[in-house]
Amino acid sequence: MSQPVITLQQISYLGPVLVIVLTVLVLLMTDVICRLRPSRQGLSLLTGFGVALGGSIVALVYSIFLWHRLTVLKVGKLAELFPVNGPPRSVSAMETSPVWSSGTLVVDYFAVFVCLLVCGVLILVCFNFKPYLRINKLHRSELFPLLLLSASGMMLLSMSRDLLSTFISIEIVSLPLYVLCGLNERSRANQESSLKYFLLGAFGSGFFIYGASLVYGAVGHMNYAAIAYFAKHSLESSSILMIGLALVGAGLAFKLALVPFHAWVPDVYQGAPTPVTAFMAAGVKLAVFAAALRLVLEAFPLMDLSFWRGSISLLAALSMVVGNLLALHQMSAKRLLAYSAIAHTGYIAVGLASGLSTSATSILIYLVGYALAGLGAFTLISYLAPDGQDDIYLDEMHELSKRAPVSALAFAILMLSMAGFPLTLGFVGKLMVFSDAWRAGLYGLVIFAVLNSVISVYYYLRFILAMYMQPKAPGAAELVLKRMPGTYILTGIITVVLTLLLGVIPHMLIAWAQSCQLAGL
């Protein structure tokens, strides 16, 4: 065994993560120093926001730099960090020399692209938080550090190529989010959401790590390369490996909210502060799907695929139908988006089930579309929500198009993108994911998914019709419209413009996403 050496240059490829973590440390330390002053005031909201935003922008620029470097060097990956190698012990006694080698973390096109997206989501969520904290009078200096820590976990998650580092990254993502959900200790809904998210999130982690330990037992390593190698060379099919991977899949399904592991989603999404919900919908989904993609494409391809395809397809079909049916009669906008998030997870899982090498491209495009629509919609919800309610209901939205025409139009466009109307990014994403599955031969699943997206149009249109067509019922509550804070306007414009622009001319995004191949083993 050669001693693994990690050079400074290799560590510099982790730049986006390091920048974010450094920003967290700076924020925490300046907060402590600020509290030493006679006034004992922590870091002000504006400073915290500024530093967090600065850090995220630097990380974004760093990711673009890494992307540029990848294209200049014409390599599939920049670095494999913390390499491990060796024969899985259980294969056979004949092979004793190291025959495979793989990094625990890998910086390839796919990881850098996900880092870019996470930075983008982070910036928009920071924009959302500033007015939210001011309006709800929450002076929490630990908020931005927690948010950034969670984002750093998302970046690591996209690089992980090992069940253990995936587990640790998932925990880095989740632990700050549990706290963020309970941001407002005066709000019962926040606390409830926090507790439910924590208990079910930790339950899911338990499944994941027990499954990972069984995989370790079968293979002798937790590395994806080792799993793939073992599956190829092992003579007997190992039931322990199968059970282990199934439990790992269940753990990931908890985090992704695939039915039947979805029970926490509606309560957590509805009860959490709206910007945190936006972060969960856009960021967590993106990162965990990135991890699931890497697992499926790197560790599974040499295995008997039909079994995995079958089980992922089943979960996808269940998620689509349960999410859509339960969303049909929701009155609360946040709860509606929560159920629709379950359905969207189902659509993306269709892409996961196809397991082609192009799946990464289509799933990333779908996730970009979903993240933009989700971020925009939750921004508008937190703008329109009455004080102390942090949510809007269908009957409050009647005639909104007359009173707030621009917000209503933006909301309508984002809903249409979620429903998958042509000329929006949501349509491009759905088209690519479904055509992938069609090419993989999953005809029944694709037809089922298309039927489901038709059902989903009903509940998105219900909100749009309420805003545009239906007169206000006498005595119904009316939203009090305030001046829209500048950062909300900015987030709204960015999300709506990108949704339409990339929906009409998606070529550039598709070209980028097409170069996002996984580095392979």
Partner 1 sequence: MSDMSVVVSNSLFLSAVLFTIGVLGVMIRRHPVIIFMCIELMLNAANLALVAFNDYHYSKAWPALDGQVYAFMVIAIAAAEVAVGLAIIVALFKRRERVDVDEINLLRG
Q: How far is the CB of 25 from partner 1 (least distance, A)?
A: 17
Instruction: In whole angstroms, give the CA distance from residue 383 to residue 260.
Output: 33
In terms of residues, how long is the chain?
521
CB-based contact 104:162 (threshold 8 Å): yes
Instruction: Considering the complex, state which of residue 277 and residue 499 has its C-beta at the smaller distance from partner 1.
Output: 277
Instruction: Considering the complex, state which of residue 323 and residue 426 has its C-beta at the smaller distance from partner 1.
Output: 323
Helix (H) or strand (E) holding 61: helix 45-73
Q: How far is the CB of 266 from partner 1 (least distance, A)?
A: 7
Instruction: In whole angstroms, give the CA distance from residue 311 to residue 102.
Output: 28
Instruction: In whole angstroms, give the CA distance from residue 382 to residue 377.
Output: 9
Residues that bind partner 1 (CB under 8 A): 86-87, 89-90, 96, 164, 167-168, 171, 175, 178-179, 182, 185, 188-189, 191-196, 198-199, 202-203, 205-207, 209-210, 212-214, 216-217, 220-222, 240, 266-267, 270-271, 330, 332, 335
Q: How far is the CB of 80 from partner 1 (least distance, A)?
A: 18
Sign of CA dihedral 54, 59, 60, 64: positive
Q: How far is the CB of 238 from partner 1 (least distance, A)?
A: 9
Q: How far is the CB of 13 from partner 1 (least distance, A)?
A: 23
User: Residues with Cβ < 8 Å from 201, sequence gap 6 or more?
Assistant: 174, 177, 178, 254, 255, 264
Going by C-alpha positions, the residue among 223, 259, 246, 417 that lies closest to residue 338 is: 259
Helix (H) or strand (E) holding 77: strand 77-85
Going by C-alpha positions, the residue among 314, 307, 342 that lies closest to residue 448 is: 314
CB-based contact 157:167 (threshold 8 Å): no
Q: How far is CA 256 from the centre of its chain?
A: 8
Q: How far is the CB of 200 from partner 1 (least distance, A)?
A: 9
* Strands, E assignment, 153-250: none
Beta-bridge partner residues of 79: 107
Q: How far is the CB of 263 from partner 1 (least distance, A)?
A: 11
Both tokens of residue 254? 């908890």
Instruction: In whole angstroms, give the CA distance from residue 96 to residue 273.
Output: 54
Rg (CA), the chain: 23
Q: How far is the CB of 509 from partner 1 (least distance, A)?
A: 36
CB-based contact 16:119 (threshold 8 Å): yes
Instruction: Considering the complex, state which of residue 275 and residue 351 has its C-beta at the smaller distance from partner 1.
Output: 275
Instruction: Considering the complex, state which of residue 327 and residue 404 has its C-beta at the smaller distance from partner 1.
Output: 327
509, exposed or middle or buried, with CB in 10 Å at 0-12, 13-18, 19+? buried
Q: How far is the CB of 53 from partner 1 (least distance, A)?
A: 26
Our CA angle for 323, 327, 331, nearest 5°, is 155
Q: How far is the CB of 14 from partner 1 (least distance, A)?
A: 18
Residue 86 backbone zone (phi > 0: left; psi -120 to 50: alpha; other: beta):
left
Instruction: Considering the complex, state which of residue 72 and residue 94 has its C-beta at the smaller distance from partner 1.
Output: 94
